[in-house]
Amino acid sequence: MELDSFGTNLNTAVFGASGGIGRAFVESLAGANAVGQVHAISRRPVQPSADKVIPSHCDPLDEAQLARTVSEISANGPLDLVIIAIGILHEGGAIKPEKTWRQLDPQAMRRVYDINTVAPALIAKHVLPNLAKGRKSALAALSARVGSIDDNRLGGWASYRASKAALNMVIRTFSIELARTNPTALFIGLHPGTVDTALSEPFQTNVQEGKLFTPQYAANRMLEVLNKTDSKKSGKIFAYDGSLI
């Protein structure tokens, strides 16, 4: 995996490093020649898989803890590339994607919104001022095609859809402000496709053949998108194949 458009000795970070896609991002970044270090940030401990990997514990919904973490990972230099790979679709028996509006539960919806929208927004609040200036740098958050209002033709999954649509608006809004203060930086959303992780496991039955991706494949494809994307496309949401959502 090459990230030649960013330069060399990159200071990178992955929030959600203990998840399936998050771990894959950490491994891909650690294997890239351009990357100097990878801060693997998660709520659960992560075992470093390479000398480049520096694990950190952080609950992104604890803003004081989040601020300290971002300060620590940017202490030796600005951040070149940061990935937000956190998200929730279901959680035990308490949270499941709704099939009808009759299943909407306000407590479950708040939980989904906190993880999928509020946490990435708080991470962006603290990371964006610490992105490298005068050269390409990037923040990317995992979004989802089902967050597209125009593409919603099936209904259902109200909480998840709404949380990702809100995240997309956060990305767009913050990108406008970012362009004023750091014009060479970008903030985009990335749709990984359907990835073989715990998040998608209950919903893989109807996935088309060849469309269920390994976490490593999805991470590599999304990093390729980031490598090819510049600040002129900041604020947009891209699929793993580079297509615009």
Give 11's strand partners.
Answer: 37
Amino acid at 78: P
pLDDT of the residue at 173 = 98
Q: Is residue 52 part of a domain?
A: yes
DSSP letter string, 37-84: EEEEEESS----SSTTEEEEE--TTSHHHHHHHHHHHTTTS-BSEEEE
How many domains are contained in the chain? 1
pLDDT of the residue at 194 = 85
User: Do residues 26 and 99 touch, judged by C-beta distance below 8 A?
Assistant: no
Q: Is residue 83 part of a domain?
A: yes
Give 55's strand partners.
Answer: 40
pLDDT of the residue at 90 = 86
Handedness of CA 15, 17, 22, 24 (dihedral sign): positive
Q: Is residue 244 part of a domain?
A: no
Query: Which residues neighbour 22 within 8 Å (Cβ) at sequence distance 6 or greater?
Result: 14, 15, 16, 40, 42, 83, 85, 86
Q: Is residue 46 part of a domain?
A: yes
Domain that holds residue 210: 4-239
pLDDT of the residue at 212 = 80
Q: What is the pTM of this model?
A: 0.93
pLDDT of the residue at 204 = 56
pLDDT of the residue at 46 = 84
Q: Is residue 205 part of a domain?
A: yes
> Looking at residue 212, which CATH number applies to its domain?
3.40.50.720
User: Do residues 58 and 32 touch, judged by C-beta distance below 8 A?
Assistant: no
Q: Is residue 245 part of a domain?
A: no
Q: What stretches of 102-214 show up as alpha helix (H) in DSSP? A: 106-113, 119-127, 158-181
pLDDT of the residue at 167 = 98
For residue 216, how many C-alpha atoms fall within 13 Å in the half-sphere facing its CB? 5
The secondary structure element, H or E, covering residue 30 is helix 20-30
R_g of the chain, CA atoms, integer Å: 17
End-to-end alpha carbon distance in the chain? 24
Mean pLDDT by 10 residues, the chain (245 residues): 92 96 96 96 87 96 98 96 95 88 96 97 98 98 92 92 97 98 98 79 63 89 97 97 95
